[in-house]
Amino acid sequence: MSSTVQSPKLKVDRQWRSYINGRFQDGKLTRTLLNPASGKALCQVSEASSQQVTEAIKAARAAFDHGPWPRLTALERSQFLHRFANKIEQRAEELATVETLNAGKPLRESRFDVSDAATCLRYYAGLITKPTGQTVDVPAPSITRIVKEPIGVCGQIIPWNYPIQMAAWKLAPALAAGNTCVLKPSEYTPLTALLLAEILDELELPPGTVNIVLGDGPQAGLPLAESGLVDKIAFTGSGRTGRLVAQSALGNLKKVTLELGGKSPMIVFDDFDLETAVDYALYAIFCHAGQVCSAGSRFIVHSRIYDQFVSRFIERSKKIKVGPGLDSETEMGPLVSNEHRNRVLEYIAIGKREGATLASGGETLQGGKYQNGFYLSPTIFTDVHPKMRIVQEEIFGPVAVVEQFTTEQEALELANGTRYGLAGAVFTNDITRAYRAVKALRAGVTWINGFHSCYNECPFGGYKESGWGRECGTYGLDAYTEVKQINVNLDPSPINWFSR
């Protein structure tokens, strides 16, 4: 029997407002959020006006230029981040439940995301107390140091698929480095970001250090990218919006980090165990209903095992338990909105028009527990060719395409044959071939005989049109710092460069 999670502490029907300069503020616009599992109203949020977004930016500017946060020691910032992580862990079930109600993902995934958010904070809390910088041996009488300093005011725009995890990936390194922030969550999934604001307020973070503004991209995101008071913009989302962010950031040549889309391949050689490969394939594409930037959406399978792989892949995909995220038996939840589901359905229609075979799925799920929710069955296309749009373009849903190859070179050409380069995987028992092939993948995150495992200690980001820069690891901290050279003259006597 399945069960539905109930949380006595959970109050979704409450005031949800932007957090600006240490205060929660009503806005002029109201948005009704829908529960993706039921299509029913979840709550209303009060979105920031353009004037309030400007106020948030100015608050962050004042907090950086004159406030205490950038002037704390690394140890003091570290201790605060640990307290922040403690509070997240204390409210973990509440945060996970709100994440599921707002984003639609199964509760088991939301629980992992909340845990990862706390872990990310602890990672950067530890990292900033470690030795950094350099001392350079230059000709006497000088000594030279190279130090890293906070960039300043950081505008941060996060997507709807991993709200709390993406908030942590942005806030943790920025705060660790001593910056101040204006965070804009997705207009679809702002709730856990606002719960983080509650925690920061409870911990008495200095006003203006972190501001969270609600609203859509044109209303709240674009002003962050355009503002001359913002020193750095970090964006995670679509390539189309990422280009707009980058263009807008040119006004004051602010630093830019972009984590954009993917069309990630999974190459399966014929020497690898078929059942294990299929198991990872299901995880690669149907985790969070394929709404993952690094999702394995292209399966490139050796021709000797192609038919077996497809048959078993289809068979197991039909057994995936689709349902509301709070149902304990659910393995795959709904898509985030009806608009997004329609977008994915349009790609399924495009695939059929292009001549691909819809081997399984491709249907909305209706009635019973699916009533009015934004559900879509796990979908698999076969008989595809590289120029098809469903092979080339990011669909961001539970839609897989299966290609076949005969030689290693052909597999790599197929794998690298899109404009994206975020992630990729190789499955084989031949470790020499595995390492040779994974080195040849033009992608920033790769796996041998695995998929989706990512760690706060390691850089995340992609090649080609999958973005600029990296998040997480030491690279993520570096992205929120400026590098300064300090030269000290130990013998400041006249140098007589010009005649007297």
Q: Tens digit of pLDDT for each residue in 34-57?
A: 999 999 999 999 999 999 999 999
Q: Tens digit of pLDDT for each residue in 289-321?
A: 999 999 999 999 999 999 999 999 999 999 999
Indicate if 109 belongs to the active site: no
Q: Tens digit of pLDDT for each residue in 394-452?
A: 999 999 999 999 999 999 999 999 999 999 999 999 999 999 999 999 999 999 999 99
- 76 CB-near residues (< 8 Å, 6+ apart): none
Whether the CB-CB separation of 207 and 21 falls below 8 Å is answered with yes
Average pLDDT on 172-198 reads 98
pLDDT computed for residue 468 by the predictor: 97
- 235 CB-near residues (< 8 Å, 6+ apart): 156, 157, 221, 225, 241, 242, 245, 256, 257, 258, 259
DSSP for 488-500? EES-------S--
Average pLDDT on 253-270 reads 97
Q: Cα–Cα distance between 89 and 470 in angstroms, integer?
A: 26
Q: Indicate if the alpha-carbon torsion angle 343, 344, 349, 353 is positive or negative.
A: positive
Predicted TM-score (pTM) of the model is 0.95
Task: Find the catalytic residue in 259, 394, 403, 408.
Answer: 259
Whether the per-residue pLDDT at 7 is higher than 50: the answer is no
Q: Tens digit of pLDDT for each residue in 212-224?
A: 999 999 999 999 9
The mean pLDDT value of the chain amounts to 96
Task: Find the catalytic residue in 154, 287, 293, 472.
Answer: 293
Indicate if 259 belongs to the active site: yes
Given the DSSP bridges, would you call strands 357-360 and 379-382 parallel, antiparallel or unpaired? Answer: antiparallel
Average pLDDT on 358-375 reads 96
Q: In 213-306, which ranges are E strands? A: 232-236, 255-259, 264-268, 296-302
Beta bridge partners of 174: none
The fraction of the chain above a pLDDT of 90, given in percent, is 94
Q: Indicate if the alpha-carbon torsion angle 171, 259, 35, 281 is positive or negative.
A: negative
Q: Indicate if the alpha-carbon torsion angle 343, 345, 347, 350 is positive or negative.
A: negative
DSSP 287: G
Tokens matching residue 337? 């909105």
Q: Indicate if the alpha-carbon torsion angle 61, 66, 68, 74 is positive or negative.
A: positive
Comparison of pLDDT for 496 and 166, the residue scoring more: 166
Whether the per-residue pLDDT at 27 is higher than 50: the answer is yes
pLDDT computed for residue 1 by the predictor: 47
pLDDT computed for residue 28 by the predictor: 84
Which uninterrupted H or E stretch holds 424? strand 423-427
